[in-house]
Amino acid sequence: MKKSFLASLALLSSLTLLSEDSESLEILYEKLETLEQEIRDLRNLLEENSILVDRSLELQQQRYLDLDSRILELSKKSSEEEIKESNSLETQDPERELFREALVLFDEARYAEALEIFSKIIISFPEGLFTPDAYFWSGELFLAQDMYEDAKISFSNVVDRFPNHVRAADSLFKLGEISRLDEDLLGAVAIYKKVQDIYPSSGAAQLAKKSEENLKQ
């Protein structure tokens, strides 16, 4: 009887353990299913995010392409407008066009033709923007041909009529050079000193100082 009772207890204990194990397994399975579902949800979320990121990158790239296209278009329009404006200015400014033509001829060593255009500027635009330059370059061309009197007239016009022009200091120095070439050394020294006094910061003043020192040696 006792043995039978003990056997019954052992069987009951085994059944209890089996029941507990079964419940534990069911709980474990439920947890696994929940975890697997969470993993599936996470994968779906990652895939969705990946798609969104790719789409965002595509949109961003498209924006950059559109922006580049618009910048290029604006750049072309701006260039076209600048060209039109430049052509318009040249058409409306015959003095500028003449001066540019004279410089081209000068660069091509077509000095007689360049001198003719410079003279035309001086006559047509006596107070023009490029008139001092026309006088100066005319003086240079005359000086190169040993036409000292004509050169002196051209440089003197710059010095006397346009004393604040950028060519004034150089023109005054050239007058000193003409005096030196005419062997008027005292006159040359006086002009060199004048260049240094009136335009002390100019390159012409440095040249005048050196020329003065050379004459005194």
Cβ-in-10-Å burial (0-12, 13-18, 19+) of 131 comes to buried
Q: How far apart are CA 55 and CA 61, in angstroms?
A: 10
DSSP 200: T
CA distances from 203 to 92, 173, 199 (A): 35, 10, 9
pLDDT for residue 197? 97
Residue type, 88: S
User: Helix, strand or coil for residue 73?
Assistant: helix
Task: Tell me the residue length of the chain.
Answer: 217
Asked if residue 165 lies in contact with residue 197, where contact means CB atoms within 8 angstroms, the answer is: no
Superfamily of domain 94-216: Tetratricopeptide repeat domain (1.25.40.10)
User: Cα(201)–Cα(205) distance, rounded to whole angstroms?
Assistant: 7
Q: Which residues of the chain have pLDDT under 50?
A: 2-12, 14-15, 17-25, 28-29, 32, 51-72, 75-76, 78-79, 82-83, 90
Q: Hey, what are 191's tokens?
A: 């002009």
Rounded Cα distance between 199 and 158, Å, is 14
The single-letter DSSP state of residue 165 is: S
Q: Is the dihedral of CA 178, 184, 187, 188 positive or negative?
A: positive
- pLDDT score recorded for residue 167: 95
